Structure 1
């Protein structure tokens, strides 16, 4: 296990290096001057000083070397659009907001999706199965922003139970969390139902039934343990996307999260913000995938990692 983890960390570093390098040269290949609209009214000498401050007066390959050197030291640079604000500080300030909504939505979507998927599989072709599949179709078909607007109308306009917009106590997170979790809930329910039905049809399940294993033990120790593994695979990418995927929800509910910075930085060609958030998102994504591999072996002891191979 230790050898496997060390090897995966090496892959993580290599992958992160490739992602950062590609992002750096891609963002610099976009035509236009990122500071043109900010420095066009400044005196020529002040403009030159402005470019020199951000290293934009140097060749791209030299800028790349400067960025990698600062990155190793933990410095993600300063935002071009928000002068004086470091990228690291912006991420530390706004990432927890997006993370809170995202983690709550993952916990709710994953847990309820697993339960509903199991119920649908065990009650196949009965009314619980039809209800779960109906909810799954609605969850996948209806965009999150439509659901968010519907929730706002019902719980803030029609009945005035929860706040419409803003950020503060736990009650401000309820509607955004529901809006974000509904799609993942539907996805997990569908996957879990399909996996459970596949496992139930296996020979070892029929053997266990013939030996008189109780239904509870059969479901908990055999069906769920084997059916949940493919579903866990979905967790890795979803964890990494909680900061980007919440952009629309953050806009609707006026939540001061990181999602809006991610989109606006690309539009504004804020090199430092784009690269800084790329480092953050890519690191989170890669770590999540490694964590999923480790969870595999914890969920199912039959999985053994030997020399980096499963």
Structure 2
């Protein structure tokens, strides 16, 4: 199969691409390398995939010096002309759309970026799949679509009609758009509602990174809702393992439904203060905690019911928090020489 992975320089996209290449898939990676967080981290992820930073800046399709089966292009999903040319050239068998403007809180500051990337960009993906006969699409949704749902664990059959951030609304829009294109044009679509993914090479705006960075640099950490939060923290290897199972199944044409949504999480929520304690234990430092009220657009708890993903694709997350935190802290210390 030839697979397009959008957001290939992002956290999940990088890890998925690396595993796909190792398994011998032909992969074209795409990312706009924006400055929502330090682009150098994105360039360094691509470096692990054999893409030279100086080649990217020449604004051409780059070949990997580590993987003969990988090419990368710096491009924005909202650029319709470039996207159409990309699809016309490569004849993809499957698209994995992980590119998006991420972050709940940032959507309060830069709403147009969310519409450009998450709505217009996703429409370009759907239209390219339609016109260039790509019949299989896996795309990133988010646990944020559950909004203030107080029924736990969250199930994909729950109503998600009341998002509390523009980011969540954009992801709900993706699910509706995918359903429409599945119905009208026969594109098999699988939406994955990710639950608080963490691990090595993680995003600097996520709790795992923020807390570790602050603790190791003797700065206070911000603990929202006075610490009364819990999250379904999910280790990156478990996420990628689940996605690979889906892709392998799609490769064999054994999955028949035209449209589906799945939660992909750990299904074992952890209290925020327990998560911080695990980081303290691993780093050997005590966090300076600054307790703050709940942030706009945030929710008190997340908890994924993943039984349908387990039933259909054998998904089995099994990385304990202690092990995942240790792996992240080890990577952070090495990457930043701390």
Give the shorter-chain TM-score range. Answer: under 0.3
| Greater relative contact order, per chain length (Cα 8 Å cut-off, separation 6+) | 1
Whose Rg is larger?
1
More helix by share: 1
Q: Which has the higher strand share?
A: 2
